[in-house]
């Protein structure tokens, strides 16, 4: 049966079901597309033979939505949706956002803050000891005691605050089916302590032997140094090949994270993406204008999972993992052909990508024997000597798909690791990317120019970006195209001083960049950078790290990135004076802003010019009126 899963009791009855096996509760609207985690998990459950209802954005202030399907036979799966509910609701300045891309019409207020916890508490209130399994980004990244930016406090594991039975962390397909099968056979969820990719709670007296134990919840609340150590231990054990069980005491309870689940093989990944997704939002949202979040991904294809780039501010390494798994070319081409048959397809495939588009294989051959190196980066600060950079298979896929009947253009819009591309001995991919797969602008992420800041980010030094940009423009010119690079840049990352921010402003000026928007570092749960933000320590060295926490200090760093905006002039001048860089204030071409006297004179000149034009227009207007 090719249709959306039931979203209400009427849908359930149309299928002839008296009950469902599982209710999947999501903080997002129901979008049945493989770019949406809830869609994947529910389709995987359905494919395993279970009756699944999709409860999207239920009213948590009422019982009605949670009871409409009756009591599910086996239990509830609960997720905040594709992104963290707090990130969905608040900017980095902790101001309420005005729209929600994962809600019909972009409307705010359709999910609660800390959605996983609120939904689980409601389910417990209604159904008592029914099995509850939580997953998705919000639950996965909060599985241990974690720093909560919005409360500026350490929170316990979400397993404690939510009252759920298990966390399915990471991508979740294999453990989800194992949990479902064991529940279906009558096993109690309270006995499921051996499933990879899950977390559970036990009395401390029942703590399993072995593994690694990180500082307790009580200790990390009292000591920032202990918190930094706990984060390092948790990050180091996320490799599926060598990762150990990780434990953390919470009072009289022990949180246990089992070893990471093995990633899906290529045939398994192909099978997931070939499930019968409807590839759009539920038709009930049409009256509201649809779900905005589908627009960027509706005609996109995911070809890879995992990211060995593992930037410190990114949650991917902690959620998806660093190990690369990829789909087969045949599966990708099959999906591309399907896209050409969809009613809204105009000939453009927006992306064939993933966390990092140009990764297809593990970063080195040694990973198949020993896993990924603990505490080391594959690409930063310089590429590892064992790195194997090969984009030939990805290029072959792009060539095949762009030549399919009905396909006009294939873009690459997800992240490109330019440093990895520079390591490829063949330049074929680089050349064809520029010639065929850029929509005028290529987005890349150098993030900063200061070596000290980039080291804290886990990013390559800026020389790699400069080398890449130079070659990118040369190749664009050689094929007769005027194309641009849009570099993502970040202010106020841990380690970034005001002096570093000034250097970044100078880099922006030297490169001729005019960033329209700039991003402050956003401390989200589960990242190394967030641990640095909270503790002001590097988890791997325990050395002090400067962190701009004062809102005005952060505002100065942010304003420097748009030094050319007249609205920022006063705060940029203040920042330059504070950084002892008054040499950058003046009329010299090397200066960032003009001196106060020059600036005021320029303003008077512009105002006089504006007045002359206005007066001329008024005179012309009066003359015209008389003539008519």
Alpha-carbon distance 536 to 539, whole Å? 9
Backbone angles phi, psi at 626, to 5 degrees: -65, -40
Helix 37-47, helix 173-184: angle, nearest 10:
40
Backbone angles phi, psi at 568, to 5 degrees: -95, 0
- The DSSP code for 549 is -
User: Which pLDDT does position 619 carry in this prediction?
Assistant: 45
User: Which pLDDT does position 596 carry in this prediction?
Assistant: 72
Alpha-carbon distance 361 to 396, whole Å? 14
User: Start-end ranges of CATH 3.30.750.210 in the chain?
Assistant: 299-439
163: cis peptide before it, omega within 30°? no
DSSP reduced 3-state for 394? helix
- pLDDT tens for residues 83-105? 999 999 999 999 999 999 999 99
Q: Does domain 9-194 have CATH number 3.40.50.280?
A: yes
Mention every residue, 6+ apart, whose C-beta is less than 8 A from residue 364: 378, 384, 386, 387, 388
User: Which pLDDT does position 627 carry in this prediction?
Assistant: 35
How many residues can be counted in the chain? 628
**Tokens 């072995």, residue?**
210
Q: What is the pTM of this model?
A: 0.92
Instruction: Provide the sign of the torsion angle of the four alpha carbons 175, 33, 89, 119, taken in this order.
Output: negative
What per-residue string of b and e applies to 255-273 under the rule 16 or more CB within 10 Å gives b?
Answer: bbbbbbbebbeeeebbbbb
User: Which pLDDT does position 606 carry in this prediction?
Assistant: 64
Mean pLDDT of the chain: 94
Name the band, by pLDDT with cuts 50, 70 and 90, for residue 603: low
Q: Which tokens hold the place of 567?
A: 């609205």
What per-residue string of b and e applies to 395-413 under the rule 16 or more CB within 10 Å gives b?
Answer: bebbebbbeeeebeebbbb
Averaged pLDDT for residues 452-463: 97
Q: What CATH class has 299-439?
A: alpha beta
User: Start-end ranges of CATH 3.30.750.200 in the chain?
Assistant: 443-594
User: Which pLDDT does position 613 carry in this prediction?
Assistant: 66
Per CATH, the architecture of 443-594 is what?
2-Layer Sandwich (3.30)
Calculate Rg over the CA atoms of the chain. Answer: 27
Averaged pLDDT for residues 70-82: 97
* Nearest alpha carbon to residue 199 among 221, 214, 181: 214
Averaged pLDDT for residues 456-460: 97
Are 164 and 120 contacting, i.e. CB atoms less than 8 angstroms apart? Answer: yes
State percent of the chain over pLDDT 70: 95
User: Start-end ranges of CATH 3.40.50.280 in the chain?
Assistant: 9-194
User: Which pLDDT does position 623 carry in this prediction?
Assistant: 37
Asked whether the predicted pLDDT for residue 487 surpasses 80, the reply is: yes
Averaged pLDDT for residues 208-234: 97
């Amino acid at each position: 049966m090719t249709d959306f899963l039931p979203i209400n009791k009427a849908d359930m009855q149309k299928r002839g079901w008296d009950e469902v096996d599982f209710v999947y509760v999501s903080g997002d609207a129901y979008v049945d597309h493989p770019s949406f985690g809830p869609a994947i998990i529910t389709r995987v459950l359905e494919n395993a033979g279970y009756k699944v209802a999709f409860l999207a954005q239920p009213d948590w202030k009422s019982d009605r939505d949670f009871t409409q399907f009756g009591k599910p036979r086996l239990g509830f799966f609960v997720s905040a949706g594709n992104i963290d509910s707090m990130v969905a609701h608040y900017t980095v300045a902790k101001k309420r956002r005005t729209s929600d891309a994962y809600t019909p019409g972009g409307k705010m207020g359709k999910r609660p803050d800390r959605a996983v916890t609120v939904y689980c508490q409601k389910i417990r209130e209604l159904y008592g000891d029914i099995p509850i399994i939580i997953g998705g980004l919000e639950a996965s990244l909060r599985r241990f005691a974690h720093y909560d930016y919005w409360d500026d406090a350490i929170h316990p594991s979400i397993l404690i605050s939510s009252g759920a039975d298990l966390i399915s962390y990471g991508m979740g397909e294999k453990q989800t089916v194992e949990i479902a099968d064991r529940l279906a056979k009558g096993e109690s969820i309270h006995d499921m302590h051996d499933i990879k990719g899950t977390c559970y709670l036990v009395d401390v007296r029942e703590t399993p032997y072995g593994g690694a134990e990180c500082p307790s919840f009580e200790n990390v609340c009292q000591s920032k140094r202990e918190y930094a150590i706990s984060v390092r231990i948790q990050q180091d054990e996320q490799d599926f090949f060598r990762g150990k069980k990780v434990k953390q005491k919470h009072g009289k309870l022990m949180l246990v994270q089992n070893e990471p689940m093995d990633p899906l093989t290529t045939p398994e990944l192909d099978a997931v993406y070939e499930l019968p997704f409807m590839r759009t939002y539920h038709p009930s949202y049409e009256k509201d204008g649809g779900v905005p979040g589908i627009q960027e991904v509706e005609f996109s294809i995911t070809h890879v999972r995992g990211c060995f780039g593992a930037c410190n501010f990114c949650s991917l390494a902690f959620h998806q993992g660093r190990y690369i798994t990829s789909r087969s070319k045949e599966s990708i081409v099959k999906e591309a052909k399907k896209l050409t048959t969809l009613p809204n397809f105009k000939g453009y495939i927006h992306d064939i990508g993933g966390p990092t588009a140009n990764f297809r294989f593990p970063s080195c051959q040694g990973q198949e024997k020993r896993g990924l190196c603990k505490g080391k980066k594959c690409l930063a600060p310089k590429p590892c000597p064992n790195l194997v950079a090969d984009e030939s298979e990805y290029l072959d896929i792009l060539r095949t798909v762009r030549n399919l009947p009905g396909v006009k253009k294939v873009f690459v819009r997800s992240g490109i690791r330019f440093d990895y591309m520079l390591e490829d001995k063949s330049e074929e991919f680089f050349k064809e990317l520029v010639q065929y797969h850029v929509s005028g602008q290529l987005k890349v992420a150098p993030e900063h120019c200061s070596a000290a800041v980039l080291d804290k980010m886990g990013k390559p030094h800026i020389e790699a970006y400069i080398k890449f940009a130079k070659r990118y423009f040369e190749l664009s010119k050689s094929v007769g195209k005027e194309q641009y690079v849009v570099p993502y840049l970040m202010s106020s990352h841990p380690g970034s001083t005001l002096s570093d921010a000034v250097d970044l402003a100078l880099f922006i000026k030297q490169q001729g960049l005019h960033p329209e928007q700039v991003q402050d570092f956003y401390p989200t749960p589960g990242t190394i950078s967030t641990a640095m933000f909270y503790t002001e320590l590097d988890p791997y060295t325990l050395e002090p790290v400067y962190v701009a926490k004062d809102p005005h200090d952060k505002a100065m760093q942010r304003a420097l990135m748009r030094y050319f905006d007249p609205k920022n002039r006063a705060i940029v001048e203040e920042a330059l004076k504070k950084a002892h860089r008054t040499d950058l204030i003046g009329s010299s071409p090397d200066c960032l802003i003009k001196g106060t006297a020059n600036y005021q004179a320029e303003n008077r000149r512009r105002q006089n010019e504006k007045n002359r034009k206005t007066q001329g227009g008024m005179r012309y207007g009066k003359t015209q009126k008389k003539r008519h």
